[in-house]
Structures are given as C-alpha cells and as structure tokens.
A and B are shown apart, each in its own frame.
Chain A
Amino acid sequence: MSDIFTYNTMLVLLGTSLLGAASGLIGSLAVLRRQSLAGDAFSHAALPGLCLAFMVVGERNLAALLLGAFISGILGLVVVSLLRRYTRIKQDAALGIVLSTFFGMGVVLSRIIQNQTIKGSKAGLDSYILGKTAGIIASDVYLIGSAALLCLIVIVFLFKELELLTFDADFARSQGWPVARLDLILIILLGLVVVIGLPAVGVVMMAALLILPGVTARFWTDRLAAMLPVSVGFGVITGAVGTWLSAEYANLPAGPIIVLIGAGLFLFSSVFAPRRGLIARWRRANIIDTSLLDLDTPVFEA
C-alpha cells in the first residue's frame, strides 16, 4: 500500500480534500438558500467562456481560462434570475434553458477549437467537462487551497448575515439587510469553487460535490455554526476516500467514485441520523400512533 502514496498521489489527495472542504462550506449555504442546482447551472454555463478564453489567449493560460469560465458562469446565473423576475418563465425552465444553451455553445466552440489546433492540446478542454483528477499538480493544490481559504474568511466575516439569510431571508429583507448583495457574494464564491474544481472533477461531478456534503450535514444538526464544519468534514472525507479508492483500484475513475462516496454518506445519514433520519422519523411516528390508540393514557400530561 505504501507505494500508492507517491508524491503525486499525495498531491491529488490533498487537492480533492481541499476541494471537498471548499464545496462543503459553500455548498451547504447554497443548499439552505434553495440554490442547490445553481452549481449545476454554473458549471455548465462556464464552458463557453472557457472556450472563448482559450480562443483569445491561444494557449493554456490557466488564469485567463478560469476568468473566462467564471464570467460566463456568472452571466448564466444572471440570465436565470432575470428570466425568472421579468418573464413568465419559471425558475426550473430558466435553469434548464441556460444550462443547455450555454453548454451547447460550449460544445460548438470546443469543436471549433479542436479543428483549429493541433491534436492533443484540446485534451485540456475536454478535461473540464469530464474532469481529470489525476492531473492535479502542486499549483492546482495552491489554487484550490486559496479558494477554500477565501471562502472560509468571507463566511466567517459575514457569518451573522449569512445565518439570517439562509434561515429567514424575508425577515432579513424586512430588517433592511442587503439580501440581494449577500446572495451575489454567495454566488461569486460558489462560482469560484466551481471554476477551480471543474478541471479536477468535471461538470456533473462538481454539481454533486456542491450538494452532497451540505445536505448530508443538514441531517445531523440544526445550527449553521455546527453544520458548516460538519459539511466541511464530509467534503474532506468524500474527496479523500474517493481519491484513495480510485488510486487503489486503477480502473476506477476518481470523479464518479468521489460522488458515490458522498452519496454513500448521504444515504447512511438519511437513514441513521438522530432526529432527521428515516429510522428516527419512523420511530417518532410510531410512538405517536400507539399512544393515540391507547385511550386510557392521556396524550398530554395535565
């Protein structure tokens, strides 16, 4: 087993764990804000910007690519919210329209790039769609680490505001809090994590990584201050165990395995979590039923 943990594997492991942490942190806020699918839409909508940046800068300049992806992702989500506000298009259809049209545009552009450039250099773009976890290098780890750190700093700094926003946005609005601006900050952080995670795990898996740790953590606690670290923990476990498994068994692709580990944790929590799990709910329901059937015992103590 020791030969598995080479320098490269350690880097990949570190990278995916940090990515898990960052997406656990920001994803749990997105889940609470009923924005779970924003990550999905963002990661699809980022593709055309990525390709355009590629066409403009010509070679693989990471900063430019990420900026392009980020801008078009944000643009996609802005279109979603404009459609929802000013037309009769509902949220779900708006997400679907943006997601498919932007992604279609990305596919069109990436094929054009593929025709123009010499074979091989296009592999860089393809990995953004399907993800190439094994390709994580030291600079990627720094990048993911700084994104995670930035999310952490912003969330700690705005904790009180975000707590109110996620649990009662209407109250926050009525108290004069800048709800729209806070939502925008959240979306920007989300976009940052998505853009940085895309090359590692790909479009669909990135969406999963943003949702799973958050919803899983929600089973275990009702307090945001507890939920965030729990979610980060789940994110780290998901990323690390998934990477380790796929390194152990050579033909298992890392992205999907990471998602399946996350799904396993989710399933376990949904069944066994104390109060919110299936068993707890089922027992609670039964307790009420039997006491109601037993007419001799008063349901409420005097």
Chain B
Amino acid sequence: MNMIAFWTILVGILAGVSCSLVGCYLVLRKMSLLGDAISHAVLPGIALGFLLSGKISGPAIVMGAMVMGLLTAYLTQALSKAVKVPEDASLGVVFTTLFALGVVLISVKARNVDLDPGCVLYGLIEFTPFDTTSVFRWEIPQAALTLGATTLFVLVAIILCWKELKLASFDPELSTSLGYPASLLHYFLMALTAGVTVAAFEAVGSILVVAMLIVPAATAQLLTDRLRTMLLVASLLATASAILGYWGGERWNTSVAGMMAVSAGGLFFIALMLAPKYGLVAKLVKQLGLTFRILREDVLGTLYRNQERHGIGLSGADLLPGQLTMVRWMTLKSLVRRQLVNSDQGTVSLTKAGQDRALQLVRAHRLWETYLQQNVALPADHLHAPAEKMEHYVGPVLLDSIAEDLHQPAQDPHGREIPAQHSATNSGR
C-alpha cells in the first residue's frame, strides 16, 4: 500500500470516527437532523472566518463555524418555542437560510478562492495527502493532523463528561433535576457537532459528514443496547466504511467521499437485515416461530377434541383446513419431530407427551370460556373465538389463578369437561 492510499484512508477513518462518536449522542437524542443542519449551516461561518482572516483554514474559520453551528441549534429551538413553528420546519428554515447566506457570501466576496459550494458538498479527500506539514522529520498531511486532534478531543470530552452526557441523552429531565442542566449539555453537544463538522468537512465534504454523523451510529443502535458498545461499534463501522469507500472509489475511479457514504449505507443495510435482535431476518424468524407454534397447538387441540368425541385419530389431510398443504406438512413434520404426535399411514394421533400438551391447551381454552361467560357476560356463541386466541398465551400460573377464581369448575359453558391439571388421572379417553 502506498503512502497516498494510507493517508487518504487514515483521514477518512479519523473523520468517520470523530463524527460517528458525536453522532451516537445525536441519534440517541433523536437529533440526527440537527447534525445535518449544522453541517450545512457552518458554511457562512467558514465564509466569514475567511473574510476576516484571509486564510482558508485556521482558528478564524473554526470559530466562525462553531458560532454558526451553535446559532443553528439555538435558532431552531428559539423559533419553535417563541413563535410555535413546528420543530422540523424551523430546522429546515434555519439551515437552508444559513446555507444560502454562505453561498451568497462566498460568491460575492470570495469568488476566486477554492471554496466553491461543490467542494463544500463533496470535499476533496483525494487531495488531502498532498497538503502536508512537517512535524519533526515527517511530512504529515494537514488534514490528518487536524482530524487526529479532533478525534482525540472528542474522545477526551466523552470520557470526561461520560456520566453527564449519558444521563442527558437518556433522561434529560432527571439530568436537570440532579443539577446537570440538560440544556447546557445540549449546547456542549452542539459545539462538539459543529467542531467535528468543520474539522471533517474541509477534507470530506458535508455529504460524508452527514453520513458519518448519522449512519454508523444508527447502525450501531441496531446492534446493541449499551452506550459504551454503541460508541465502539459505531467507530468500527466508520473505520470499515472509510476502508471500503477508498477501495470502491479506486476500483471504479469515482468520488471516495461518496463511496464512503455508500459503504456506510451498505453496512447499515446488512445490519438492518442480519442484526441478532433488531434485524429484519431475526424478527421474521421470531414471527414465523410464533406462527408455527400456534399452528402446532391448533393441531394438538383438534386431535384432543376429536379423540374426546370419537376416540380415534384424524387423517392428516383433515387437519388445519384452509392452510396450504406445504404449511400443513411442515407443521405435522415438526410435531412428529417433537414426538407430540404419531403419524401412521396418514392417520395422526397424539402421543403421551402430545396428550399432556393438548390437555393444557384445552384446559386453557375451556377455563377462559368459562371466565368470559361469568365475568364479561358474553353470549355463548361469542365465547369460542377469543378463547381460541387466548389459549396460546395463558401460562400455567395465570391458568391456576383463573381456575381458583372460578372455584375449579368441572365443565365449560358448552357442557364439556374441563380437563384437570395433570393427565395421569385422565388418560383413558
């Protein structure tokens, strides 16, 4: 790997890590769009800083950007408080107006400078390795130095204010009542956002800043529930996006910053699908699991009732009417595997274990019907449907207390026997 690639990736990583660390707090506080807004709104600050100092980087630019960032946060809140503009609208008004102001300032006063809005949007990460400063004997790119310092500063700030930031992110009211004013921490966070934005923005442009502020943090939120882990995961994701982005940008000879944003989006998509707890696949599997459990239990209930009435097993084709053959086949297969039913030449009957399980279900069903009839006064023909649903959810403890409440009834409202707790006494039928 050559030095240019190394420095470009490093600048990308540092920009990504510093932004995504701050971004975690923004995402948690549901303020991610404030990050978007600030990254646009720092433009007039940068322009003013340039007009005052005559240089396109340095403390004047940083100061200007910080002031504009804080102003954005303040104005957005002030507008929605003082004149009741909806919060999203006031955000939109403030940042677009400041951005427009910045573009006007630049095109009127700084036409010939390398500060055109295009560069602001996409950044010039490909060129950062060539703008170097010598530190001791090494030639180090200016952007790497700035972003390294920024990342370090953000890390120190987060470690020092760990407890306070955490509290203010999860429970601002409690934080204020404990003497850590949430509004103060809010502006501290906004200042951090403006700081990382302006540091990252010269190198990677506002698109990548917004992507790095929001996307890795949101991805991390899908993967963990702990703040510490979230910060770590977000930083790793930002690093991975920077590397992938550089690779993709070189591979297809295109914008590295854009490719980094796309990589972050791609990683988000993967997490969205595959995250163990909040991923869509996990959710689907969980939902399918529930669906099949209910189907299995319906089969057990049907077999029990049939045996109760006619004393024989049922043909597999008569079970689960209205379901696809495939679904019926899978349900029976899984019942057989669990040794709850025997399937013998198309005739399905309950095993001993299946009998036990079915008994619990029928007991739940009939107890619930009795309970509904006595306490809700539903007519007899309206009892079955709700009980059919509830039988899958009522646990043994609740069931016992219902039975207790109803003085251990022997029959349900339709005159059928409510089976007792244990099947040992009741296996003959």
* Chain A residues close to B by CB (< 8 Å): 31, 34-37, 39-40, 83, 86-93, 95-97, 99-112, 115, 126, 129-130, 204-205, 207-208, 211-212, 214-215, 218-219, 251-253, 255-257, 259-260, 263, 266, 270, 276-278, 281
Contact = CB atoms under 8 A, between A and B. Distances in A.
Contacts of A96: 32-33, 35-36, 210, 213-215, 218
Contact of A101 (B32, B83, B254, B261): B261
Interface of B: 27, 30-33, 35-36, 40, 79, 82-86, 88-93, 96-97, 99-101, 103-104, 107-108, 111, 117-118, 121-122, 207-208, 210-211, 213-215, 217-218, 221-222, 248-249, 252-255, 257-262, 264-265, 268, 272, 278, 280, 283
Contacts of B93: 208, 211-212, 215, 263, 266
A292 to B, nearest CB: 21
Contacts of A112: 252-254
A215 B261 CA distance: 32
A276 B80 CA distance: 12
B88 A36 contact: yes
Nearest to A89: B218
Does more than half of chain B's interface fall in helix, strand or loop, or is it mixed?
Answer: helix
Given A204-B40, A251-B107, A101 B265 contact: yes
A93 B27 contact: yes
Contact of A108 (B210, B215, B252): B252
B267 to A, nearest CB: 10
Given A107-B257, A126-B118, A270 B85 contact: yes
Contacts of A91: 30
Contacts of A36: 86, 88-89, 91-92
B84 to A, nearest CB: 7
A278 to B, nearest CB: 6
Contact of B83 (A211, A260, A277): A277
B283 to A, nearest CB: 8
Given A36-B89, A96-B215, A211-B93, 13 more contacts: A31-B89, A39-B92, A87-B222, A100-B215, A101-B261, A101-B262, A111-B258, A130-B117, A215-B90, A219-B83, A256-B104, A260-B104, A263-B93
A88 B230 CA distance: 14
A87 B258 contact: no
A104 B208 contact: yes
A255 B100 contact: yes
Nearest to A95: B33
A281 B253 CA distance: 57
Contacts of B86: 31, 34, 36, 215
Contacts of B99: 204, 256, 259
A92 B28 CA distance: 10
B97 A208 contact: yes
Contacts of B122: 107
A215 B211 CA distance: 28
B228 to A, nearest CB: 19
Given A97-B215, A263-B97, A104 B259 contact: yes
Given A104-B265, A215-B93, A93 B214 contact: yes
A205 B252 CA distance: 31
Nearest to A259: B100
13 contacts: A36-B86, A86-B283, A93-B218, A100-B211, A101-B268, A103-B261, A107-B122, A110-B255, A130-B118, A211-B89, A260-B104, A276-B83, A281-B82
B83 A278 contact: yes
Most buried by A among B31, B92, B249, B280: B92
A92 B30 contact: yes
B32 A93 contact: yes
Contact of A107 (B84, B103, B207, B252): B207
A104 B262 contact: yes
B357 to A, nearest CB: 33
Q: What 5 A-B pairs have minimum CB-CB distances, sorted nearest first? A: A104-B261, A101-B265, A107-B258, A208-B96, A96-B214
B36 A215 contact: no
B96 A211 contact: yes
Contacts of A266: 93
B117 to A, nearest CB: 6
Most buried by A among B83, B107, B210: B83
A115 B31 contact: no
B270 to A, nearest CB: 13
Given A92-B31, A104-B211, A259 B96 contact: yes
A106 B265 CA distance: 13
A259 B218 CA distance: 31
Contacts of A214: 89
Contacts of A97: 214-215, 218, 265, 268
A88 B275 CA distance: 12
Nearest to B266: A101
Contact of A252 (B108, B261, B278): B108
A87 B272 contact: yes
A93 B272 CA distance: 13
Most buried by A among B100, B101, B207: B100
A30 B33 CA distance: 17
B210 A99 contact: yes
A105 B97 CA distance: 26
Contacts of A212: 93, 96
Contacts of A130: 117-118
B60 to A, nearest CB: 23
Most buried by B among A89, A100, A107, A260: A100
B105 to A, nearest CB: 9
